[in-house]
Amino acid sequence: MTISDIFSPYEDLIEIEILGEKHQVPENNSLLRCFQFLAMESISYGDFCWNGECLNCQVWLQNGEKEKAVIACRTEVKPDMRIVRISDDIDLSGE
């Protein structure tokens, strides 16, 4: 298995915003897979169930004037998605 085998097939990278920073991530993937794309080591070895039971991958999306809580492993990435808060269990530093 190669690294690309863990991602759903994609042709393009799309732009999303995470905590005020723009990032390019693979389309057609869950947010958690996109986080893994950005920080392979820290997400791969993080404490995630990958099926929505643990809630360790919870993030909050900008939804108009409000925030909407979602589970990153169950939410497909969309262009221009704005993530305004992330769970403390998500380490995107790549360290």
Strand duo 13-18 + 82-86: pairing: parallel
Residue 16 has pLDDT above 70, yes or no: yes
- Residue 73 sits in a domain whose CATH number is 3.10.20.30
Main-chain phi, psi angles of 48, to 5 degrees = -125, 140
Q: Supply the mean pLDDT for the chain.
A: 92
pLDDT attached to residue 6: 87
Query: Is 20 a domain residue?
Result: yes
pLDDT attached to residue 12: 95
pLDDT attached to residue 1: 43
The residue range of the domain holding 41 is: 13-86
Query: Is 72 a domain residue?
Result: yes
Query: Is 41 a domain residue?
Result: yes
Query: Is 95 a domain residue?
Result: no
Q: How far apart are the first and last CA of the chain?
A: 23
Domain count, the chain: 1
Band of the pLDDT at 95, cuts 50, 70, 90?
low
Alpha helices in 1-95 (DSSP H): 31-38, 40-44
pLDDT attached to residue 3: 58
Assess contact for 90 and 45: CB atoms under 8 A.
Answer: no
